[in-house]
Amino acid sequence: MSAAEQGGTVLTVVVPMYNEEDALPSFAARLRPALDGLGVRYEVLAVDDGSADKTAALLRDLTADWPELRMVRLRRNSGHQAALTAGFDFAVGDYVATIDADLQDPPEKLAEMLELARGERLDIVYGVREDRSTDTGFKRWTAGAYYWLMRSLVGRQVPSNAGDFRLLSRDAVEALKELPDQHRVYRLLVPWLGFPSGEVRYVREERVAGETKYPLTKMVRLALDSVTGFSAAPLRLATWLGTIAFFACLGLLAFSLTVYLTGNTVPGWTSLFVGLLFVGAVQLICVGLLGEYVARIYTSVQGRPAYFVAEDTRPRA
């Protein structure tokens, strides 16, 4: 009996996918030999996040001659983090790795991550990008700004240039599953756990095919979820903006009284116009920040599931 057939599943590799029909063949061709060479029992849990292309059909074809592959198809596009949540819920391995199907994160590094976790008894191993030259300058700049902001708000435990390519122990996965968060951002939740961790560095490659699933709008949404989900700093910012606006108004009042007392009361619309714009802008910013937090409370009270499963190629007994 081979090592892969003995005992329980050692490693589950969770792969969230959305419209990855072009990248899937190349991804499977690299992932399978990398995992077969581990000498341990593994499973690949592909979470199809409501793809509109042939991703689900290709996965079904692959399961015919790849017994370790399992597909869980979600009923609608629930988002990358929700797909990861589904993967964690269905994973059975002692260790759970997450990787995207675009091959920007090399599957060959999974062996090094598993060896590091088992050898040093680590609960978390981050895949850290040491070279992002394949990304556009704008993407590198926004990513750097995002990680700087997150480390400033959440703490230094958030590793720079570590996305969703990581390996977790079963204890870490179970801890994540117990959290009540509705809007999950795992690149912040995982380091927040405080479990022993290590890093495996790699060079980020170009996307093998298809288009990025994180355009500017989704990057902004991720940043908003990250900030409002892990810090009350925006509320404090609203307080400070209101305070600044209050003192600015006091200054304008003093200026108006001085002009009146000196008899230089020349009617002017500029100061009034600028003052109204400033106060109105501050108010709108504060209301918007409060709205973000109220929306999070609203969705938490609703308690709606993050995803619904439409198909499972290997249903639980």
| This prediction's pTM | 0.75
Q: At what angle do helices 55-65 and 24-36 cross, to 10 degrees?
A: 30
Residue 173 and residue 101 in contact, taking contact as beta carbons nearer than 8 Å: no
- The pLDDT, as a whole number, for residue 94 is 97
- The pLDDT, as a whole number, for residue 132 is 66
* Token couple for 196: 């022993």
- The pLDDT, as a whole number, for residue 236 is 66
- The pLDDT, as a whole number, for residue 293 is 74
Residues 123-144 as b/e (b if ≥16 CB within 10 A, e otherwise) read bbbbbbbeeeeebeeeeeebbe
Q: Which helix (H) or strand (E) holds 73?
A: strand 69-74
What does DSSP assign to residue 166?
Answer: E
Kindly list the averaged pLDDT for each block of 10 residues, start to end, along the chain of length 317. Answer: 56 96 95 96 96 95 94 94 95 97 95 97 93 70 74 74 92 94 85 93 85 69 69 68 72 69 63 69 74 71 82 75
Neighbouring C-beta atoms of residue 150, cutoff 10 Å: 22
Q: How far apart are CA 175 and CA 191, in angstroms?
A: 12
Q: Is the dihedral of CA 130, 136, 141, 142 positive or negative?
A: negative
Domain boundaries, the chain: 9-213+304-312, 233-302
Instruction: Please give the CATH topology (third level) of the domain spanning 9-213+304-312.
Output: Spore Coat Polysaccharide Biosynthesis Protein SpsA; Chain A (3.90.550)
* Token couple for 78: 């629930």
Q: How far apart are CA 63 and CA 80, in angstroms?
A: 22
Q: At what angle do helices 270-302 and 216-230 cross, to 10 degrees?
A: 80
Strand partners, 203: 131
